[in-house]
Homo-oligomer: A and B are copies of this chain.
Amino acid sequence: MQNVDTLIHARWIIPIEPENAVYEHHSLVIYAGKILDLLPTEQAKQRYQSDDTIELNTHALTAGFVNAHTHAAMTLMRGIADDLPLMDWLQNHIWPLEQKWMDEEFVRDGTDLAIAEMLRGGTTCFNDMYFFPEVAAKQAIQRGIRASLGLIVIDFPTVWAQHSGEYIEKGVSLYHELLAAELISTPFAPHAPYTVSDEPLERINELAQGFNLPVHIHLHETAHEVESAFAEKGQRPMQRLYDLGLVNDSLIAVHATQLNDEEIQLLSDVGASIVHCPESNLKLASGFCPVAKCLAAGVNVALGTDGAASNNDLDMLGEMRTAALLGKAVSKDASAIPAMTALRMATINGAKALGLEHKIGSLEIGKAADVIAIDLSELETQPLYCPVSQIVYATSRQQVSDVWVAGQQLLKSRQLTTFDMDELKAIATKWQARLSEKTYDH
């Protein structure tokens, strides 16, 4: 009998790889933060023992969700300005609030609330784009979640940096500082083609190639973005990025609601990734990403919630459901984006986009133990004919019972292990009071 750190006996295990596998009465064995074994429970009980043995008789275990695009700190602005056209929302609400309030404390508190919400919903890794990424890194490490923290670059001054040169400089030094942090990676994150000019984009591309980092950027979010770029520069933003050398296998193109067939083929040819954010795209009326077409062309499509200010949650189960439902309607094919595809978009495809597929995104021996358990015994997921269908089409995030990141249990029977809930609620209350003040500033 081999002693191991954690031994989980589960009713179902959905390993993501191999594709379409669903194991019944299997066990996951965790040792030194990694998956040591995955085998039938009967055999696991003969081979392994652990002081930390968990029986999950009505649960499915699967890989933790990868939220491939968010702005974690913006959780503080959840629902503060809804049902508004995009530019009114940004210019008259979000940006003035950020200008007034965004600082280290804002990012620390907002990121903390976001991490807590994400863990409670089964997200074990998030790809962030926001200011003060060093503060977000500190919170992610403290709470134990895996994070891909964008080294943000934008032409405009903020309290974090004054000009694109300073953003890049700060980014490079943060990249070096965080190289040894096991849970953290640092893609470059130029905000968008319309907010970052050619020179910094070229510099980012050189650095990203040199450091082997992904480049995370909003791209073709709306028809307006594409049309106004074309009117101004005579080319679509993706063409401009291509000319600057950024359309390659490091590209994480977020939103991509406006894609012609040539662009889809190009993304496939170079091995770039798209992050589909269906709820944000719907809420801001940005357009419909042609997900089924992209997948058929071989593009890697991951899934993101976007920030809570435009969603208004960080719920990857909900996002998966919306992606599966919407993908069928947009492609006029009820068999498009089946449940397993949606689950892969939320796990292994996210890992691929972030360049982390060697480490996370599936329950395979040798990968990090980023694992979640979902309780399917609730009335709302009964009767049960297929656990994957149930997870994607009927399960609420409240049914996520347990979460591990690199073998550390961060959610235990619905309780967060690295947070104080009273503290979190006090943080929310504090910012609610502060940000509500803006009503009186107008």
What residues make up the interface of A, taking CB atoms closer than 8 Å to B? 76, 78-80, 82-86, 89, 113, 116-117, 120-121, 279, 281-288, 308, 311-313, 315, 318, 322, 324-326, 328-329, 331-339, 377, 379-380, 382-386, 389-390, 393-394, 396-398, 421, 424-425, 428-429, 431-432, 435-436
Contacts and interface: CB of A to CB of B under 8 A. Distances in A.
A396 B398 contact: yes
A327 to B, nearest CB: 9
Contact of A84 (B282, B334, B386): B334
Given A279-B325, A386-B82, A334 B285 contact: yes
A326 to B, nearest CB: 6
A283 B328 contact: yes
A335 B379 contact: no
B325 A282 contact: yes
Contacts of A282: 325-326, 328-329
Contacts of A76: 383
B283 A379 contact: no
Nearest to A377: B425
B79 A384 contact: yes
A12 to B, nearest CB: 14
B428 A383 contact: yes
11 contacts: A78-B390, A78-B394, A79-B386, A82-B386, A82-B393, A121-B380, A282-B326, A284-B328, A284-B334, A285-B329, A382-B429
A431 B339 CA distance: 23
A292 B83 CA distance: 13
A322 B393 CA distance: 13
A404 B82 CA distance: 30
Contacts of A284: 328, 334
A143 to B, nearest CB: 13
Contacts of A86: 334
Contact of A325 (B283, B328, B383, B390): B283
Contacts of A82: 338-339, 386, 389, 393
B283 A390 contact: no
Given A379-B428, A380-B120, A385 B325 contact: no
Contacts of A79: 384-386, 389-390, 393-394
A305 to B, nearest CB: 11
B283 A425 contact: no
Contacts of A318: 318
Contacts of A80: 385
Contacts of A382: 78, 113, 425, 428-429, 432
